Amino acid sequence: MSELWPAPRPHDPVDRRVSLPGSKSLTNRALVLAAIADGPSVVRRPLRSRDTLLMAAALTSLGTGIEDTGDGDWAVTPGAWDRDADVDCGLAGTVMRFVPPVVGLARGTVRFDGDPHMRLRPVRQMLAALGALGVRIDDGGRGALPFAVHGTGTVPGGTVTIDASASSQFVSALLLAGARYEHGVDVRHVGKPVPSLPHIEMTVQMLRQHGVEVDDADANRWAVASGTVKAVDHDIEPDLSNAAPFLALGAATGGRVTVTDWPASTTQPGDELREILTLMGCEVTLADGDLTVVGPDRLHGVDLDLHDVGELTPAVAALCALADSPSHLRGVAHIRGHETDRITALAAELGRLGADVTEREDGLDIRPATLHGGTFHTYADHRMAHAGVILGLAVDDVLVEDIATTSKTFPDFATAWSTAVHGASS
Ligand SMILES: O=C(O)C1=C[C@@H](OP(=O)(O)O)[C@@H](O)[C@H](O)C1
Ligand SMILES: C=C(OP(=O)(O)O)C(=O)O
């Protein structure tokens, strides 16, 4: 068994100010767009974590130049993509889904694989759509990793129908590359609703920043015109989904936590935490880039459809387990395809610490109960680790398995978390 980490528990309500690393979703989109742009550009304050380093490595292996500028930024220079390569997706959905469509623009065979669990994460529908757009893929009929993409340097593109109900990333992936296809792409979704729509809005907004024409006027249809992706620099916002445990620190302790550099407007789904924590009884204020959460004496349960913001579910579920009334978290069947089956994992691990949880097909019902210490398994899932440390704020002797799994999207989370809980040691 991996190392067990005693989750720190504050003795008094905290009063902290926290600055967070950059957004995974923004960093990996910025890298892809910079790599297919018409000239060099800079990604400022990028996240440097496992997922973004894997993205940088994938693009570098194709022939992109990505250099440290010495002050933490990345200078990206598009290169001639004229070689075979191997891409390690790790457990990063953004690498497995965003890179294959741009490999169609390369000349060479690129083999993709990843962590054992990555072979189980959905990608079949996206590979089929990519094939229909003219990219040759060899997946041995598996519809999953490992697979190879045979790039010929050009992709016809055009109209394609896809069921993207398993992941919004299928759509984002096709749109990100689409401007460089001969006929652009016109992506039409057919099936159950697409989750995580803010992440598609993020893709569309960033494409427009690069001068790409996108038509998203109709529901379930996104059309990207063929054209140049202009080189533009990006300033990466802090990762607002990774703000969840830190805001929970204020929420669960009746304390006060301020996260700095909170954007006034953003496509990041983590911005929804302001609404969710207010519903749970917190006082939430956003002023001059400071987002401050003051926790109540007792948190209240919530009835929420998290379909658009599924990646917040583990942190929200942990807070619900500390609440004084029942919660219903709904609309997130797709998170069974995330880093682990998050619904089953949360039901098991919250339950192991005494929570009264019912697993539903598309979510969790959580009722008030007296919790106790124990081991919280994390299944190589960074956000399960966040759920574990949140419980540890209010429950003695919570041992979080493999806290290092947080490195997927947060460098040295354990130190940042201990400092946030106990304050900086002098
Ligand atoms: O495009 C992105 O950056 C993401 C989209 C979402 O994926 P799903 O639509 O698969 O939930 C989200 O959960 C993931 O963390 C990041
Ligand atoms: C679902 C997530 O990641 P990925 O980008 O690997 O899909 C997540 O970070 O919660």
pLDDT of residue 11: 86
Q: Which atom of ligand 2 is nearest to the CA of 91?
A: 6
Q: What is the mean pLDDT of the segment spanning 104-130?
A: 98
Spell out which residues line ligand 2, taking CB within 6 angstroms: 92-94, 311, 338-339, 383, 409
Instruction: Give, for ligand 1, the residue of 91, 95, 126, 199 to mutate: max count of ligand atoms closer than 8 Å to Cβ.
Output: 199
Q: Do domains 4-22+239-422 and 24-235 have the same CATH topology?
A: yes
Q: What's the gap in Å between 167 CA and the centre of ligand 1?
A: 7
* Nearest Cα residue to 315 out of 402, 390, 370, 394: 390
Q: Judging by DSSP bridges, how do beta strands 303-305 and 327-330 pair with one another? A: parallel
pLDDT 10s digits, 69-114: 999 999 999 999 999 999 999 999 999 999 999 999 999 999 999 9
**Ligand 1 midpoint to CA 325 (Å):** 30
> pLDDT tens across 169-212, in order?
999 999 999 999 999 999 999 999 999 999 999 999 999 999 99
Ligand 1 binding site (Cβ under 6 Å of any ligand atom):
25, 93-94, 167-169, 172, 195-196, 199, 310-311, 334
Interval between CA 165 and ligand 1 midpoint (Å): 12
Tell me: is residue 19 an annotated ligand-binding position.
no
Give pTM, 2 decimals: 0.98
Indicate whether 285 pLDDT > 70. Answer: yes
Please confirm, yes or no, whether 311 is among the known catalytic residues: yes
4-22+239-422: CATH number: 3.65.10.10
Q: Is the pLDDT assigned to residue 424 strictly greater than 90?
A: no
Q: What is the pLDDT of residue 1?
A: 53
Contacts 24+ apart (CB under 8 A), 84-87: 84/108, 84/109, 84/110, 84/111, 85/58, 85/61, 85/110, 85/111, 86/61, 86/110, 86/111, 86/112, 86/113, 87/57, 87/58, 87/61, 87/111, 87/112, 87/113
- Catalytic annotation, pick one of 201, 311, 349, 401: 311
Instruction: State ipTM.
Output: 0.99
Q: In the structure, what pLDDT confidence band is assigned to residue 383 with cuts at 50, 70 and 90?
A: very high
Strand order in the sheet with 147-152: 85-88, 107-113, 147-152, 136-138
Q: For residue 127, give every residue at least 6 positions away whose Cβ sits within 8 Å of its Cβ, in sequence order, or none.
A: 100, 137, 139, 143, 147
- 300 pLDDT exceeds 90? yes
Instruction: Quote the tokens at residue 234.
Output: 């990006």
- 300 annotated as a binding-site residue: no
Say how many Å lie between the CA of residue 85 and the centre of ligand 2.
Answer: 24
Which CATH class for the 24-235 domain?
alpha beta
Does residue 163 have a pLDDT over 80?
yes
The domain ranges of the chain are 4-22+239-422, 24-235
